[in-house]
């Protein structure tokens, strides 16, 4: 008799320590990733209570949020950033936690470092004090973002108390058209289901479209599942997952890897697995997608006009009006041709080597528009090194992009990379909330790295499928 549990429930059950009378589950955490912003207070709690880190070998730290990507000389010019850096250095030393700092060639954005080092593996429970921990679900893990108090809880006990969410299968079938990327797929899903559509759910992404994606593309999709309100998102492990993990520094080796691979594959949801809800989309309906508003759900296909207030549901009218006013846009206007001031390629969503390759392919032989400031920020030192070995940095620099060190950069502006005043940024990151990129009046348009590169060159939102010289 087949196991009709989906992967999420299999992994949850395997990590259950106890079920509590109130309905919560105490869950063992297989991997705890930490960074410099949400960990100082957590370590402070441990010190105040004279506690130790329960399983330091299951905890890995890196620095990414506050690190400058232009000038990384110590001490940092930003005193608060320097304090945070000093704190994580001391805390990791005192508590025996591995730290990938700026001197470590493995350093980078936490959600890029985990997979590329083989720390992220199928069947794991993974937490981090960062919303986009859902990225790691691309490997068939339960990966959840947590708050600072939870970080302390996991450090001290390697467990935490959680409510089991329902599981929705999000199916996309078909081949993506030329110029349509994983970023477009997840923006389309969020547009259709809404930013609150996933509340109370974990998302299982399934269907031939995801089967065809690379691991890096799957990471992009899972990364933004949180933007659709889901507790996390995941994709079942397959041969691509196995091939990606083989030979990674923290992956098993030899016969241990073979045994692990067989077990990883066994976790996948069976064809008759049960779900609380199933929604289905067609890949052929998805085109290059751009956000126009102040939530990731406020997006349109690049050939489409912005919504008209009269055409939306009554409960959406207020937010639509607010977004149009903030963005300085009018209902029904085309998104294509919207002028930009800044172009940002990077983030845990789209700062991997495949993202940089696609953007470089568009940038090659062109020049950034004179009025646009364009920066490329690799997601890790490993990505940066590989990009430079391939000569991608030379392509970007020749086109007028700034080539930076690894870090979160302009995704969240907890570092020197910020928008100014009412600047409009074409961004490959994950959030377009008011103030997200450092200016309370700055405006963010989310899109794929290829679309960002095209916008940087044209000086405005451009349909990558029509971009001159881009072999999409």
Domain boundaries along the sequence of the chain: 7-162, 166-285, 289-466
- Give the pLDDT of residue 2: 75
Percent of the chain with pLDDT over 70: 99
Instruction: For the chain, give the percent of residues with pLDDT over 90.
Output: 97
**Distance in Å from the first CA to the final CA of the chain:** 46
What is 7-162's CATH number, 3.30.499.10, 2.60.40.1120, 3.10.310.10, 3.40.50.1390?
3.30.499.10
Can you tell me the distance from the alpha carbon of 379 to that of 394, in angstroms, rounded to the nearest whole number?
Answer: 18
* Domain 166-285 = CATH 3.40.50.970: no
The predicted-structure confidence for 37-68, as pLDDT tens digits, reads as follows 999 999 999 999 999 999 999 999 999 999 99
What's the pLDDT score for residue 468? 64
pLDDT in tens, 201-253: 999 999 999 999 999 999 999 999 999 999 999 999 999 999 999 999 999 99
What is the length of the chain?
472
pLDDT at 299 over 90: yes
Amino acid 470: pLDDT = 46
In angstroms, rounded to a whole number, what is the distance separating the alpha carbons of residues 75 and 313?
Answer: 52
HSE toward the beta carbon, residue 4, CA cutoff 13 A = 5
Torsional sign, CA 172, 15, 246, 33: positive
Fold of 289-466: Aconitase; domain 3 (3.30.499)
pLDDT averaged over every residue in the chain:
97
Q: Which two tokens stand for residue 185?
A: 């797929």
DSSP-derived letter for residue 200 is: T
pLDDT reported for residue 1: 60
Q: What is the pLDDT of residues 326-363, one digit of tens each?
A: 999 999 999 999 999 999 999 999 999 999 999 999 99
CA trace torsion 125, 126, 132, 137 (10° rounding) = -50
* Equal CATH topology for 7-162 and 289-466: yes
Calpha distance 127→142 (Å, rounded) = 8
Q: Is there a cis peptide before residue 85, judged by omega within 30 degrees of 0?
A: no
The pLDDT assigned to 241 comes to 98
Q: Report the distance separating Cα 86 and Cα 80, nearest Å.
A: 10
Backbone angles phi, psi at 247, to 5 degrees: 85, 0
Q: What is the pLDDT of residues 304-323, one digit of tens each?
A: 999 999 998 898 999 999 99
Q: Work out the average pLDDT over 257-275.
A: 98
What pLDDT, in 10s, does the model give residues 150-174?
A: 999 999 999 999 999 999 999 999 9
pLDDT of residue 88: 98
Angstrom distances, CA of residue 48 to CA of 129, 174, 312, 459, 460: 20, 55, 52, 53, 52
pLDDT at residue 472 greater than cutoff 90: no
| pLDDT band at residue 471 under the 50/70/90 scheme | very low
Residue 31 contacts residue 155 (beta carbons within 8 Å): no
Q: Are 278 and 171 in contact (CB under 8 A)?
A: yes
The pTM score is 0.97
* pLDDT (0 to 100) of residue 70: 95
pLDDT in tens, 24-36: 999 999 999 999 9
* Alpha carbon separation from 75 to 40, 285, 309, 405, 413 (Å, rounded): 18, 50, 51, 16, 19
Is the separation of the CB atoms in 35 and 67 below 8 Å?
no
One DSSP character per residue, 267-303 reads TSPPTT---SEEEEEEGGG---EEE-SSSTT-EEETT
The number of beta carbons lying within 10 Å of the beta carbon of residue 378 is 31
């Amino acid at each position: 008799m087949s196991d009709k549990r989906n992967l999420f429930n299999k992994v949850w059950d395997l990590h259950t320590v106890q079920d509590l009378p109130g309905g919560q589950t105490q869950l063992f955490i297989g991997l705890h990733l930490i960074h410099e912003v949400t960990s100082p207070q957590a370590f402070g709690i441990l010190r105040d209570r004279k506690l130790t880190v329960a399983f330091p070998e299951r905890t890995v730290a890196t620095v990414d949020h506050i690190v400058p990507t232009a000038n990384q000389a110590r001490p940092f010019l930003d005193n608060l950033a320097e304090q945070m850096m000093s704190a994580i250095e001391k805390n990791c030393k005192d508590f025996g936690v591995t730290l990938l700092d700026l001197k470590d060639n493995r350093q980078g954005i936490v959600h890029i470092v985990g997979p590329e080092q083989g720390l992220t593996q199928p069947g794991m429970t993974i937490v981090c004090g960062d919303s986009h921990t859902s990225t790691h679900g691309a490997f068939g893990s339960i990966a959840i973002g947590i708050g600072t108090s939870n970080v302390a809880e996991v450090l001290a006990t390697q467990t935490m108390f959680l409510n089991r969410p329902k599981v929705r299968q999000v199916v996309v079938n078909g081949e993506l058209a030329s110029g349509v990327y994983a970023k477009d797929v997840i923006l389309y899903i969020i547009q259709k289901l809404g930013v609150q559509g996933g509340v109370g759910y974990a998302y299982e992404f399934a269907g031939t479209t995801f089967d065809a994606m690379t691991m890096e593309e799957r990471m992009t999709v899972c990364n933004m599942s949180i933007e659709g309100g889901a507790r996390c998102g995941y994709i079942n492990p397959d041969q691509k997952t196995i091939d990606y993990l083989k030979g990674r520094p923290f992956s098993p080796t030899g016969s241990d890897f073979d045994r692990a691979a067989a077990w990883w594959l066994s976790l996948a949801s069976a064809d008759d697995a049960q779900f609380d809800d199933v929604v289905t989309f067609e890949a052929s309906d998805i085109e290059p997608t751009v956000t126009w508003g102040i939530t990731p759900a406020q997006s349109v296909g690049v050939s489409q006009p912005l919504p008209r207030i009269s055409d939306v549901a009554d409960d959406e009218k207020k937010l639509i009006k607010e977004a149009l006013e903030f963005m300085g846009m009018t209902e029904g206007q085309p998104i294509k041709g919207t002028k930009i001031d800044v172009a940002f390629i990077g983030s845990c969503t789209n700062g991997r080597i495949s993202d940089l390759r696609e953007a470089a392919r568009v940038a090659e032989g062109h020049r950034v528009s004179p009025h646009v400031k364009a920066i490329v920020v690799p997601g890790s030192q490993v990505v940066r090194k590989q990009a430079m070995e391939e000569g991608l940095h030379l392509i970007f620099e020749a086109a007028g992009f700034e080539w930076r060190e690894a870090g979160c950069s302009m995704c969240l502006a907890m570092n020197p990379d910020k928008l100014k005043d009412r600047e409009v940024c074409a961004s490959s990151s994950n959030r377009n909330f008011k103030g997200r990129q450092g200016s309370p009046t700055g405006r963010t348009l989310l899109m794929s790295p290829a679309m960002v590169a095209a916008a940087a060159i044209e000086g405005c939102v451009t349909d990558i499928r029509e971009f001159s010289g881009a072999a999409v």
